[in-house]
Amino acid sequence: MIDSNVNENFLDVKILLEFLKRYKKILIIIFIFSAIFSSVFCLFIPPEYKSTIILFPTSGGSVSQSLITESQQKKDILNFGEEENVEQLMQMLMSSEIRNKIIKNFNLFKHYNIDPKSKYANTKLYKKYESNIKITRTKYMSIQVDVIDRDPKIAAAIANSIAEAVDSLYDKIRYERAYKSFLIVEKEYEHQKAKIKAIEDSLAALSKLGVIEVKTQTEMYSEQHAIAIATGNQKAKDEIEKKLEILAKYGSTHLLLKEQLTEEVKRLAVVEAKYKEAKIDLEANLPNTFIVSPAEPADKKYYPICWLIVSISVISTLILAVFVLILLEKFVKKKIFEKEFSQLKNEIKKIEFELPKYEVMESYFKTKSIFGLILKWKWHLIVLILAAAGLAALFSSPMFIKPKYQSSATLFPANITPVSDESESEQMLEYLESNEIKFRVIEAFNLWEHYSVQKDNSNSKWKILKLYNSSINIRKTPNEAIIITATDTDPQIASDIVDSIIKYYNDLVLRLNIEKSKEIVSIYKKEYEKKQREVDSLGELLKKFRTDYGLLDMSAQVEKYTEAVYLGRSLDEAREVLGNWKNFGAEYQKTDSLFYFAIKDLYKNKNIYESSLRDANKFQTYAHVVSKPFPADRKSYPIRWLIVLMSMIGAFVAGLIVIAIIESSKKSE
């Protein structure tokens, strides 16, 4: 079996060589003419030149965190970017903002000979831009930008300008975010300084009343009070007692303010550090890419590759010529065979049963060329194909199918904190595909009427959502970006829908974050108010101990009044104070300790409460839009040439099937 196949293959090659030898003169002539024609044709193709620039993204870390912060998680700004940074850079390089900037700077309408006022001018320009500018990711985690143009200098200039433009776009996006962050931190910084100033003013007012350092003053006044009693200095005793009364009255308030000042100064140090970081991030202007190979004007054309064009043209022409010659030879042999067979059939009718029934064999084994069938019915098939093309062109026209236009936007998530294993982009996708956004868009653009859906029907929501999902597509790219595409019969509505989806997305995320922050505000406000009441209650109790029982500082008073009793000075007053310490000292110490820790808890809850309150009141966006939507100037649906082509192919195949059935019926009869 193997030997038979080898022999057959050998015979096939031998037959082919004999065929080529038989028609060698014709093939040589075709070879020469095709080579000359393709070479001449190559001369008329305008040469194009390619310039390439290769760049790496930076690590993308904050400048302040990289240079100032001592965190172990900080990123070195001198490092190359990781995969995520490469994907982001890819998406930015392909953004509409960079494309529009290059088009404007190099006046590409004029450069590509496209009339800005002509029909589909933008679509033609964008296609030309995409065909001439290729952005690819290399296996070394770098980005390669290739620019092809008829002018080598312009090709190099465009490539370098794209690198500059993406750096500017990075700066713009970061500045917008850094500026908003700076305003938030600056407001908090000024607020914190104002709070400290208010506490300092209160302490200054207490200082004017003579309350400076409660513990030290208590020790000193208690000692001097004991001395005044011992020496019988009534005037000094009265003066000191007034000062002790002031300490007893305002001592708790002074301690509270001092503790508050300590906590607020700590908080100010943190806020001030963040303020300085935000200011550095706002004012820093470092490059966002590493250009390892800048673009240079090419000195050799990139296209056309004449030897390749000539080679392909010659080879394809020779193959086509061989194919046509084979068909012609078979067609001629077939005609001769049919003529001889007909003569032979008429001469030997008696032994007809022994001859091969050629037509029957053709019917079963399909040995007859399909081209014969097509040639026989060619006019019918031509009419059928033309009719199908005409009907397809008619039914795909605006009379029957309304043209639809597409508008899209590309964006990255920002200021989103993942709450599960999903990435920021995946979480953003979930928000964008939520029913809340869908129905806001439906109501804002009255899509019920626009899509001709009756709101009163039982399945109206299912219908409107089905039409919405078929017209609006939201997907994640391999570069972790999100692309929103809207299709509509009105190009302006399609663009406005994409804009609205982005706006409603920001509104939704902001509202959910505010709601969550308000929950935390509500919880910690109650805790803060509860702890404030506890501090006030303990403060009043301490005030009572100080004013009613003269208990100010246990160590100082017990020491001085014990000494006074031991020396026999003012026994009644000294014994009264010592008796009060004996009866109420433990309760006073307990209350004083509770007061101290209550103040600590109070300011801890206060900080969380104020932080949550800031989150509940702040406004920020949650997307970086790198490609903004715009009204399309060319329809995206229907693709008429494709409909017409498929209709023609379908009509041709259906016609062949019908013809085969007709021919088969005739042969059977």
- As a whole number, mean pLDDT of residues 471-486 equals 86
| 360 or 278: which leads in pLDDT | 278
* Confidence check: pLDDT of 70 > 70: no
Which helix (H) or strand (E) segment is 408 a member of? strand 405-413
| 3 state DSSP class of 325 | helix
Percent of the chain beyond pLDDT 70?
82
| 176 or 345: which leads in pLDDT | 176
| 158 or 535: which leads in pLDDT | 158
End-to-end CA separation in angstroms for the chain: 41
pLDDT of 233-276, one tens digit each? 777 777 777 777 777 777 777 777 887 788 888 888 888 888 88
Residue 594, phi then psi, degrees to nearest 5 = -60, -40
The pLDDT confidence band at residue 347, using thresholds 50, 70 and 90, is low
- Tokens 């001395």 -> residue: 227
Predicted local distance difference test score (pLDDT) of residue 34:
83
CA distance 668 to 357: 13
Percent of the chain beyond pLDDT 90?
2
Predicted local distance difference test score (pLDDT) of residue 485:
92
The pLDDT confidence band at residue 354, using thresholds 50, 70 and 90, is very low
The pLDDT confidence band at residue 607, using thresholds 50, 70 and 90, is confident
Residues 6+ apart with CB under 8 A from 53: 144, 145, 159, 160, 162, 163, 291, 293, 294, 295
pLDDT of 173-221, one tens digit each? 778 777 877 888 888 888 888 888 888 888 888 888 887 777 777 767 7
Three-state secondary structure of 194-260: HHHHHHHHHHHHHHHCCCCCHHHHHHHHHHHHHHHHHHCCHHHHHHHHHHHHHHHHHHHHHHHHHHH
Predicted local distance difference test score (pLDDT) of residue 61:
57
- As a whole number, mean pLDDT of residues 401-428 equals 81
The pLDDT confidence band at residue 230, using thresholds 50, 70 and 90, is low
The pLDDT confidence band at residue 357, using thresholds 50, 70 and 90, is very low
- As a whole number, mean pLDDT of residues 138-155 equals 86
pLDDT of 521-539, one tens digit each? 888 788 888 888 888 888 7
pLDDT of 554-575, one tens digit each? 666 666 666 666 655 555 666 7
Cα 158 to the center of its chain, rounded Å: 26
* Confidence check: pLDDT of 651 > 60: yes
Give the lowest-confidence range in 108-112, 190-194, 326-330, 469-473: 326-330
**Closest C-alpha among 193, 214, 204, 212 to residue 265:** 193
Predicted local distance difference test score (pLDDT) of residue 126:
86
Q: Kindly report the average pLDDT of the chain as a whole number.
A: 78
pLDDT of 396-409, one tens digit each? 777 788 888 888 88
| Prediction pTM value | 0.58
* Confidence check: pLDDT of 366 > 60: no
pLDDT of 299-344, one tens digit each? 888 777 778 888 888 888 888 888 887 777 777 766 676 666 666 6
| 3 state DSSP class of 80 | strand
| 367 or 417: which leads in pLDDT | 417
Which helix (H) or strand (E) segment is 476 a member of? strand 472-476
Give the lowest-confidence range in 55-64, 412-421, 601-610: 55-64
Predicted local distance difference test score (pLDDT) of residue 430:
87
Lateral strand order in the sheet of 405-413 = 472-476, 482-488, 405-413, 623-627
- As a whole number, mean pLDDT of residues 108-121 equals 86
